[in-house]
Amino acid sequence: MSRIRGRDTGPEMSIRRGLHALGLRYRLHDRHLPGTPDLVFPGPRVIIFVHGCFWHGHDCSLGVRPQSNAAFWSEKITRNQARDREAIQKLGNMGWRLAVVWECALKGSGRRPLREVLGDLCTFIRYDSGYKQLDICALTNVENSTSTPQGETNTRHVSPRESGRKRPGPK
Ligand SMILES: [Zn+2]
């Protein structure tokens, strides 16, 4: 199968280049693993998926579905989500730790500075602190994403509110 369009997307390339520059080495799009993970770090047994919010049905402004052909998109995206869940569960059972970087973490109004995202990923890859899954998305999606966990109890959602040096006041 040839490379699917959309794999080498902007956010994914930013993550790849950034982690490489930080000295991390990885395999790309490993088809031998469930879900063909975007980045694979065999040593620390960590996987990174960079998910497009639309295709993977993220509950955020980038994931809004078109009004026309609603049934078609809904079916397609629901299928993608089911595939994602299955892959994540299988990989977890195989002992991999997983980071999902949503497109909105790096794109759109809620985006975070790339170096912050890279820093969080770097820490997750290098130090196994017991978290099996790390979700990185835009600030505005934090409440939404915590209310729809992907079947994982040990998930940590990182937002600038949580990981930033500056502590914003109460909302
Ligand atoms: Zn999103």
20 lies in some domain: yes
71 lies in some domain: yes
> In the block, which residue shows the tokens 């099996």?
132
155 lies in some domain: yes
How many angstroms does the Cα of residue 24 sit away from the middle of ligand 1? Answer: 25
39: Cα separation from own chain's centroid:
11
74 lies in some domain: yes
Tally of structural domains, the chain: 1
Helix (H, G, I), strand (E, B) or coil at 154: coil
User: What pLDDT was estimated at residue 9?
Assistant: 62
**Residue numbers of the domain that contains 21:** 13-136+146-161
Say what the pTM is. 0.77
Q: Is the pLDDT of residue 155 over 60?
A: no
Q: How confident is the model at residue 139 (pLDDT cuts 50, 70, 90)?
A: confident
**Using CA atoms, how far apart are residues 27 and 3, in angstroms rounded to an integer?**
15
Average pLDDT over residues 135-160: 56
How many angstroms does the Cα of residue 48 sit away from the middle of ligand 1? Answer: 16
For the stretch 22-68, pLDDT in tens is 999 999 999 999 999 999 999 999 999 999 999 999 999 999 988 89
User: Residue 92: which of 62, 123, 133 has the closest Cα?
Assistant: 133
CATH code for the domain in which residue 65 is found: 3.40.960.10
167 lies in some domain: no
Strand order in the sheet with 133-136: 27-28, 39-41, 46-51, 97-102, 133-136, 155-158
7 lies in some domain: no
How many angstroms does the Cα of residue 100 sit away from the middle of ligand 1? Answer: 11
How many angstroms does the Cα of residue 136 sit away from the middle of ligand 1? Answer: 9
**Using CA atoms, how far apart are residues 80 and 129, in angstroms rounded to an integer?**
29
Q: Is the pLDDT of residue 116 over 80?
A: yes
